[in-house]
Amino acid sequence: MGSQCCVQERNATRTSIASKDIQDELEYMKEITYGQQRRQILLYEDKPICYFLSKIQLSNETITTACSLNERGTTNEFEQYEQIQEELVKEIQEKCDYSISPIDDWIILCDNINTKSSLKLFIKQMEIDKKTKVNATRCEFIVPGKPQNFIDFTSHFQKQKELDPRIDAFYPIKQNEESKESVVYLSYKPILMTSAREFIYYKKTKQIDTNVWCDVSKSITDSQYPIKNKVRGEILLSGYLIQPLSNLINNDYINNRFKNKNFDDYSFVRMYSLCDFKMSIPFYMAKGQVKQEMIRYIDLVYQKLQ
């Protein structure tokens, strides 16, 4: 009885905080002209409720509670992904295992062994059908701390959005926290001559071995999520494997590459990504862009985990 009363009080407090933010916004709208109001409405008319919830500056606990009312999926809702889940996990394992998927014909964009992350980055242009060529990337690097720190950080939508100013919206449409799976919405702002892009994809995080985790994503097609005013890109396969660096102490390549590191202080990550942004960029330009963006992103992630 007492605990129920406390829960009700906390919920009432959260509702009050959210109501105040909404009231403040309404007061602001009264002060601007009709034309300005109309432009504001047009700017946001196609945004889902989760987008507006993410804009309200509340405590993390309150945001989680508010979003969970709209986004939390049930186990049954994710049954349709059970079959592809196992296939995706297996596929990303193979892509991140260079003994299974060799890198001999991949182009090395950088091998920054002397940087903190020791990022090594590869790219390859692949033909996914007779008309479309897409750039695939692979990379490996280390991050400070335990694998769970990296998993938690890269799964935190607001923190990831803060790392990339190009992102317009990034949130789970629905999620099952127990099974670590979600359906995610991601959109990018228009940049120069490039129109806005959006992705809707299934994401799964799974422990696949002792102290080894896999995170994998793939675009889904669903009538619940129609394409509106943006170009819908496609994540064909994206994800990573992560484990403590100490897991690989007997691996000759790893032992030699990180011989000056304390293996207990780091985690080792291998990533793979094959995404179709529905745009045509010359390969020589794509190489420079991918290199610049990945170095920046991995450096920021490393800094945040220190």
Q: Which residues of the chain have pLDDT under 70?
A: 1-75, 193
Catalogue the E-assigned strands of the chain: 107-111, 120-127, 133-144, 167-176, 181-188, 197-209, 212-219, 231-232, 234-244, 266-276
- pLDDT for the residue 60: 43
Domain ranges of the chain: 2-71, 80-305
pLDDT of residue 31: 57
Helix, strand, coil % (nearest 5) of the chain?
Answer: 45, 30, 25
Polymer length of the chain: 306
pLDDT at 146: 97
Phi (first) and psi of residue 236, to 5 degrees: -75, -40
Q: Please tell me the pTM assigned to this model.
A: 0.76
Model confidence over 169-210: pLDDT tens digits?
A: 999 999 998 899 999 999 999 877 678 899 999 999 999 999
pLDDT of residue 104: 86
CATH topology of domain 80-305: Alpha-D-Glucose-1,6-Bisphosphate; Chain A, domain 4 (3.30.530)
Helix (H, G, I), strand (E, B) or coil at 251: coil
Q: 277: which DSSP letter?
A: -
